[in-house]
Amino acid sequence: MLTAQLETEHTVAQSMFKQALRLAKQADEEENPQLKFDCGYIHLSMAEALTTRHHPVTLKEHLDEAAKLIDPAFQRRHLMVQVLRAQGDIINAKYSSGLKRDRHYGEATELAIEALRLAKTLESRVNRDRILGIYQQLMKSPYQHEPMVARLGLMLANW
């Protein structure tokens, strides 16, 4: 019963995101200042919602689109793209094995290190906390003894 409810909620949320994206594109075409939307932010929100489910292809597509559409001046949003990419790699690693799994954990760690540098520059504690969550997942993984994970832990401790 709980799964069905969550699946229904997922379907409704996905439908609402698609509707918001259509409205945003329509507002862009009409250049209506009252309906100023940011398609990049909608893709970022969709990607964030997808981190709770295992949809690696869809997640990557939305993150790629968000990175392309978000104004470079919005550094916090680009930071969030990096954090979500790292979270996506953690998810992919959990569903992979061998070298592929290690590659996902390695990529997640590199992205988290880059994101932490930017989070510190922007003084973004909320993103630092998200990166701490990634670090905690890495510490529970087979990748926990890698030097890059230790480096991420040290960077977090020295925030």
Kindly give the confidence (pLDDT) of every residue in the chain, 159 residues in length, as a single tens digit, with 9 standing for 90 and above: 333 445 665 566 667 667 766 766 665 555 655 444 566 767 677 677 666 565 566 778 888 888 998 889 999 999 999 999 999 999 999 989 999 999 999 999 999 999 999 999 999 999 999 999 999 999 999 999 999 999 999 999 999
Cβ within 8 Å of residue 94, ≥6 positions away = none
Whether the Cβ atoms of residue 123 and residue 137 lie closer than 8 Å to each other: no
Range of the domain at 135: 2-157
pTM above 0.85, yes or no: no
- The dihedral region occupied by 124, where left means phi > 0, alpha psi between -120 and 50, and beta the remainder, is beta
Residue among 85, 97, 98 nearest 51 (CA):
85
Phi, psi torsion values for 96, nearest 5 degrees: -120, 175
Overall number of domains in the chain: 1
Three-class SS state of 136: helix
